């Protein structure tokens, strides 16, 4: 979908719309009301958002996207389980200022920025969601959020390489026929990982080439007056 958005959803073309929904095709929307969703987004000043994911979704990649049943929306998560730990002091994605690439919703201003982040030649868009907070038109910890009261179900139906059920059937057939099954998802993941490296390298190169770039989210230490004295 990212190449489609880059080619056909130029900010000038869609400027008549207040919000852009750039969603995957495998989302169940039985519990989602777009008007109520936008009412919450507007009232809370969210420039970039997404509906929360039902906890019973087939695939959940980031804990911040899981629906909190007692809340209307949330902007961060506190969780010390797993490899990625989120504390009260965490100030960046995926602990806060983060939405996943499967169901982002952009304001007009945020989309004008995000459109320029999309790379023409990178199909899968890996790494893009970690940088979307830079397009939040302000503090990403305040302007980016997940709406809990209007939620969707991620069904995990993969159109690239077939669904999980298809893969299971192929594996079973291969076992019966004593033949080797080729999982195209492996190749897609390899390509996605390669594109992620390219995206990160381009980001670093762009920062290096711009002498006026100041990262608003780099945490700077307190001024130490003794740092000016040479050690002997």
Left (φ > 0), alpha (ψ -120 to 50) or beta: where does 97 sit?
A: left
**pLDDT for 220 beyond 50:** no
Higher-pLDDT residue of 191, 227: 191
Token readout for 66 is 């899981």
pLDDT in tens, 119-132: 989 888 899 999 99
Average pLDDT of span 133-161: 89
In angstroms, the CA 113 to CA 85 distance is: 29
- Contacts of 158-164 spanning 24+ positions with Cβ under 8 A: 158/26, 158/185, 159/25, 159/26, 160/184, 160/185, 160/188, 161/185, 161/187, 161/188, 164/58
Confidence band for 142, pLDDT divided at 50, 70 and 90: very high
Residue 183: its pLDDT value, please? 65
């Amino acid at each position: 979908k990212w190449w489609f958005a880059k080619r056909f959803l130029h900010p000038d073309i869609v400027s008549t719309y207040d919000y852009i929904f750039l969603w995957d095709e495998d989302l169940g929307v039985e519990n989602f009301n777009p008007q109520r969703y936008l009412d919450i987004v507007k009232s809370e000043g969210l420039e970039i958002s997404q509906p929360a994911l039902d906890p019973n979704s087939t695939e959940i990649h980031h804990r911040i996207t899981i629906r909190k049943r007692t809340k209307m929306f949330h902007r961060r998560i506190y969780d010390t389980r797993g490899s990625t730990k989120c504390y009260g002091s965490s100030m960046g994605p995926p602990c806060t200022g983060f939405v996943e690439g499967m169901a982002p919703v952009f304001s007009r201003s945020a989309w004008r920025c995000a459109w320029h982040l999309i790379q023409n030649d990178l199909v899968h868009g890996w790494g893009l969601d970690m940088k979307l907070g830079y397009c939040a038109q302000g503090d990403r910890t305040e302007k980016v959020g997940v709406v809990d009261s209007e939620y969707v179900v991620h069904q995990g139906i993969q159109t690239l390489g077939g669904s999980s059920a298809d893969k299971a059937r192929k594996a079973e057939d291969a076992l019966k026929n004593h033949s080797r099954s080729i999982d195209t998802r492996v190749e897609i993941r390899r390509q996605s990982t390669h594109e992620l490296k390219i995206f990160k390298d381009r980001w670093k190169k762009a920062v290096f080439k711009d002498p006026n770039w100041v990262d608003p989210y780099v945490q700077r230490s307190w001024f130490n007056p003794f740092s000016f004295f040479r050690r002997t």
